[in-house]
């Protein structure tokens, strides 16, 4: 009997891969790895394949990757050209190749024409050094990859997410960002030593390489913190993979230590339209995951729509971390969050203590700001906050105060 695939497996299996061209599996991928994939094909020993690969580069350009020729020339020759100049130069090299072949009466190939053009035609290269492409590829890989985990490093991540956002905006695609932090990592180091800590980090890197798709971009962005870019993937699909990563990591045992991770997920363009804001949203959700019990993934999108918000006008006292306070009124309330007015501007991520009056009860509720409206002119500032560390008593009192017991 053939076992029916699980819903999770079906969704993962049906994720949409990056578009391919000309039947050669040339992906519209960003960054060093995408460039090296293309260059490895251009520099293939199969000369009959070269024209088809060059045609695929033109298809990439026609599909919207206007920087493809500039990136290729930079990687091949370490010359930086503007996109329009790079495309013009690329076609000049193709004409130069045809001229060389006509004069010599034999094939020369693109790579020979490229070198001769830059050395003898426009003199952009004065003293070039020729190396095997696999040597260059290894050098480029070492510059972009974290040695301990085998994942991309922070420098690569910063560039990759900017490229991904530009591509998603151009083609009107979604993409998701997951930020991960290993729970209780300091305790692991203090109890078992840094060698065990390194083993835990390496184990997560190995897990990510095994579980993720080839088009995803896993990075180690610092210490025990990781980030994953899910191209062309909405919140629901990214949550399935993220939960799989969390569950698989929790199964690992290193030095008899129980392992877990917390993570925050945000999706472009629904949660944010700029990279800095997208990172902030994912980071905020990571913070909530930590302070709501750890070993969980929280999505900004799903968190916003999980519970009904009721337009309620309740008394509210606000205390900031610096001890300053103020009085306010609620605008809407759910069992997970609250929005209200303030006398002065605030920022996303700020921690506050709210004293909420419900009937005869006053609840002390720690919150973190998740959105702000600081463009007030003739009215007060507005903000939305997420409850953190709700006690069972406070949660019950909050539910009882909401219409229909706070049910969605």
- Asked if residue 26 has pLDDT above 60, the reply is no
pLDDT score, position 307 = 64
Q: Hey, what are 275's tokens?
A: 């990279």
Determine which of 49-63, 198-212, 370-384 has the lowest per-residue pLDDT on average: 370-384
Residues 8-18 have a mean pLDDT of: 32
CB-facing half-sphere around the CA of 389: CA atoms within 13 A = 12
- Asked if residue 233 has pLDDT above 90, the reply is yes
Determine which of 6-10, 32-36, 233-237, 347-351 has the lowest per-residue pLDDT on average: 6-10
Residues 223-237 have a mean pLDDT of: 95
- Asked if residue 28 has pLDDT above 50, the reply is no
- More confident call, 392 vs 148: 148
Q: 87, 71 in Cβ contact below 8 A?
A: no
Tell me the average pLDDT of the chain.
Answer: 81
**Phi/psi at 359 (nearest 5 deg)?**
65, -120
Determine which of 93-97, 260-264, 392-396 has the lowest per-residue pLDDT on average: 392-396
CATH architecture designation of domain 146-304:
2-Layer Sandwich (3.30)
CATH architecture designation of domain 315-406:
Beta Barrel (2.40)
What are the pLDDT digits (tens) for 315-368?
899 888 777 778 888 888 888 888 888 877 777 778 889 998 888 888 888 988
Residues 36-64 have a mean pLDDT of: 68
- Asked if residue 160 has pLDDT above 70, the reply is yes
Top mean pLDDT of 82-96, 124-138, 346-360, 363-377 is at 82-96
pLDDT confidence band for 301 (50 / 70 / 90): confident
Determine which of 3-7, 200-204, 293-297, 322-326 has the lowest per-residue pLDDT on average: 3-7
pLDDT confidence band for 371 (50 / 70 / 90): confident
pLDDT confidence band for 58 (50 / 70 / 90): confident
pLDDT confidence band for 399 (50 / 70 / 90): confident
Strand partners, 152: 145, 219
Residues 30-58 have a mean pLDDT of: 61
Cβ atoms within 10 Å of 334's Cβ, excluding its own: 20
Q: Which of 163, 157, 144 is nearest to 32 (CA)?
A: 144
- Asked if residue 3 has pLDDT above 50, the reply is no
Q: Is the dihedral of CA 284, 285, 286, 290 positive or negative?
A: positive
pLDDT score, position 325 = 74
User: What is the domain partition of the chain in residue ranges?
Assistant: 18-140, 146-304, 315-406
pLDDT score, position 341 = 83
Q: Hey, what are 132's tokens?
A: 């095997």
Per DSSP, the three-state class of 258 is: strand
Determine which of 37-46, 173-182, 304-313 has the lowest per-residue pLDDT on average: 37-46
């Amino acid at each position: 009997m053939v076992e029916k695939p699980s819903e999770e497996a079906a969704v993962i299996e049906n994720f949409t891969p990056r578009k391919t061209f000309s039947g050669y599996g040339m992906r519209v991928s960003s960054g060093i790895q995408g460039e090296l994939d293309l260059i490895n094909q251009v520099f293939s020993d199969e000369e009959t394949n070269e024209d088809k690969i060059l045609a695929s580069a033109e298809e990439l350009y026609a599909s919207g990757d206007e920087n493809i020729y500039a990136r290729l020339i930079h990687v091949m020759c370490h010359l930086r050209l503007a996109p329009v100049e790079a495309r013009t130069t690329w076609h000049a090299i193709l004409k130069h190749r045809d001229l060389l072949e006509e004069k010599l009466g034999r094939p020369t190939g693109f790579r020979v024409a490229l070198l001769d053009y830059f050395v003898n035609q426009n003199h952009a290269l004065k003293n070039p050094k020729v190396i095997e492409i696999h040597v260059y590829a290894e050098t480029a890989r070492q510059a972009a990859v974290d040695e301990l985990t085998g994942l991309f490093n922070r420098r690569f991540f910063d560039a990759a997410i900017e490229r991904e956002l530009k591509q998603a905006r151009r083609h009107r695609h979604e993409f998701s960002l997951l930020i991960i932090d290993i729970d209780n990592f300091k305790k692991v180091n203090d109890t078992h030593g840094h060698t065990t800590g390194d083993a835990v980090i390496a184990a997560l890197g190995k897990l990510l390489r095994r579980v993720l798709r080839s088009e995803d971009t896993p990075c180690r962005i610092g210490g025990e913190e990781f980030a994953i870019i899910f191209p062309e993937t909405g919140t629901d699909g990214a949550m399935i993979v993220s939960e799989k990563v969390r569950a698989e990591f929790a199964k690992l045992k290193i030095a008899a230590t129980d392992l877990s991770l917390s993570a925050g997920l945000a999706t472009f363009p629904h949660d944010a339209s700029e990279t800095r804001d997208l990172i902030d949203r994912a980071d905020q959700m990571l913070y909530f995951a930590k302070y709501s019990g750890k070993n969980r993934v929280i999505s900004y999108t799903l968190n916003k729509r999980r519970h009904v918000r009721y337009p309620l006008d309740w008394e509210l006292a606000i205390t900031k971390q610096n001890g300053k306070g103020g009085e306010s009124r609620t605008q809407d309330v759910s069992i997970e969050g609250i929005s209200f007015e303030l006398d002065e501007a605030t920022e996303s991520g700020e921690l506050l203590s709210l004293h909420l009056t419900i009937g005869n009860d006053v609840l002390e509720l720690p919150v973190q700001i998740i959105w702000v409206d600081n463009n007030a002119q003739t009215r007060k500032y507005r903000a939305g906050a997420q409850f953190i560390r709700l006690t069972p008593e406070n949660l019950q009192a909050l539910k009882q105060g909401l219409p229909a017991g706070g049910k969605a």
